[in-house]
Structure 1
């Protein structure tokens, strides 16, 4: 694959710890678990790594602490060729962390994040770095960044496409007022409810949600529905895509992998929107069959073969 896509990921880079319940998860109680892994994570970082493994030129913009975790995160990204010159090590801050508790089936039961350091990524932090930001052809920003910063990015992007990652229900709100200013929105079912103020539990409701978001000005929207599939809108045309058959191991990170697969395809101009959705589904499929958030032994031929099995169903507008 040609290294023709130059994509900057702005947002979270921290440490993930993933544990899995040995018994059915019970809220408000002590749950016996086994530790699966502790490794670098974060939405922006997860997307950046898979983009790099897919052959893109990738940069990471954000912040870590001046501690051992921060050193490891910067080194791990640099070692695979991600540009970390905009990943700042802030004095007096510690590197954030995320803990994922999976249920017995491998689905996320509970997520906990310590992310105060990301509050330091204000518009003032990025203002002096704007010339460096503008050197990248695409921006992917995640909602771990403060609301004011996301709005600042939307105002200052110029001709650079801005892609929005909603991260979580609590943070999706940060995109709500500026969703019409983004060039691509990829969100999940629960986060789309925050953005639209309406229930999204099935395909029909997701189709209504993408139409509502399109009416606000977003030209390209994707809502991922987990085992129900994908609903997409591209310049007015709505479609449904069934999920690829998956032997589920760990669903954590599958949404980020979809984002990376889609963005890598669309940004390299190798394929149109539909082909990008298919590659996103293939990446989500491969990640869900892998422990952790990254498919390190990624084989591009396997990605392409799985993408070719994706099926689009056009829906009434």
Structure 2
């Protein structure tokens, strides 16, 4: 029997990522010759939405782009894979956000530049007229690129919709602090969880303490990812547990965190979902993405994900 699709509305970043590499020694405050390694759509909410769609869910995207070619391309690429883009805002006189990474001659990051000003225009005034339509979606995945006032407004007006937070970065994670007690799901990494809790997180025991604090603030389901160390999850349903990463033929870790979120939410948003199944699904997606060049596994199959998820092992921490 086929598992029913979930209906999830994703709010947040959808832009282009560009990676350039110096062809000679990187010299600060100078003109450096470079070659373009890649230019592709990116953004946390966009990355999560794409994998959710490839996993068979009904997905819509709400974001802002400029009235430029990049904005048209971002919207078209989402639409082509069946993501509902009717809530994408194309803002006149603005330019589409973008992240540019400049690598030095060895491949290490020399300079990273993020232009995200257009997301500041995802204001309450722009979203309020759509509230009835937005609340028709039973799941909201909101990334921290939205203004803090908009995040708080969404939390206050979610009604029966499940609000799932993606913290994006340590500098932006603070935007969820005012609404922790209104979140239904929080998936965050150790650096972002430290910002939200004030607890240094370098080992599993510290992650457990942080996750208990976050659940004590009213969040029923919390996951803290620890990079190559693994994942700590907690819910009233399944307790607190540690999960090791799955065996992976490592190729490119970019996008693995967003892929974990997609795999987790795809499973967790289904009827009668179990936390353990969702974590296993998230680990499978992170593993498959790390074995792929780029941030997206375009040839996904439910069978491949299920087979990888079956390898997940849980170690209770209660």
Range of TM-score over shorter length? over 0.9
Q: Which has the larger radius of gyration?
A: 2
Cα 1:26–1:219, aligned 2, differ >3 Å: closer, same or farther? farther
Deviation of residue 23 (structure 1)?
10
SS in 2 for 1:239: strand
Question: Normalising by the residue count of structure 1, what TM-score does the alignment of the two structures yield?
Answer: 0.92
Please give the per-residue CA displacement for 1:31-71, whole angstroms capped at 9, x wherever unaligned. 99764321111111111100000000000011111100000
- Deviation per CA, 1:243-272: give whole Å up to 9, x if none: 012222221211111111011111122641
Q: What are the superposed Cα offsets for residues 141-194 of structure 1, whole Å, 9 maximum, x if unpaired? A: 000000011101100000100000000111001011211210000000111110
3-state SS of the aligned residue for 1:210? helix
Unaligned runs of 5+ in 2: none
| 2:47 maps to 1:46 | yes
Structure 1: how far apart are the matches of 2:132 and 2:22?
A: 47
Contact kept, 8 Å, 1:106 with 1:248, in 2: the verdict is: no
Give CA deviations for 1:70-122 in whole Å, capped at 9, x if unaligned: 00011000110000000110111100001346799999786431100000001
Q: Deviation per CA, 1:206-245: give whole Å up to 9, x if none.
A: 1111011111111111000010000011127211000012
Which residue matches 2:122?
121
Find out whether 1:312 has 2:310 as its counterpart. Answer: no
Q: Partner residue of 1:94?
A: 95
- In 2, the alpha carbon distance for the partners of 1:33 and 1:232 equals 42
Using the TM superposition, give the Cα deviation of residue 11 of structure 1 relative to its aligned residue in structure 2, in angstroms. Answer: 0.5
Task: Tell whether the 8 Å contact from 1:51 to 1:260 is kept in structure 2 after alignment.
Answer: yes
The corresponding residue for 2:195 is 194
Q: Give the gaps of 5 or more residues in structure 1.
A: none
Greater shift, 10-19 or 146-155, is seen at 10-19
SS in 1 for 2:63: strand
**TM-score normalised by structure 2 residue count:** 0.92
Residue pairs, 1:12-161, within 5 angstroms: 12-19=13-20, 35-100=36-101, 111-161=112-162
Give me the whole-angstrom Cα distance separating, in 2, the residues matched to 1:26 and 1:98: 21
1:121 to 1:73, Cα distance in 2 relative to 1, 3 A? same
Residues 275-314 of structure 1: pairs in structure 2 closer than 5 A: 275-314=277-316
Whether the 8 Å CA contact 1:164–1:186 is kept in 2: the answer is yes
Deviation at 1:278, TM superposition (A): 0.3
Note the aligned Cα RMSD (angstroms): 2.6
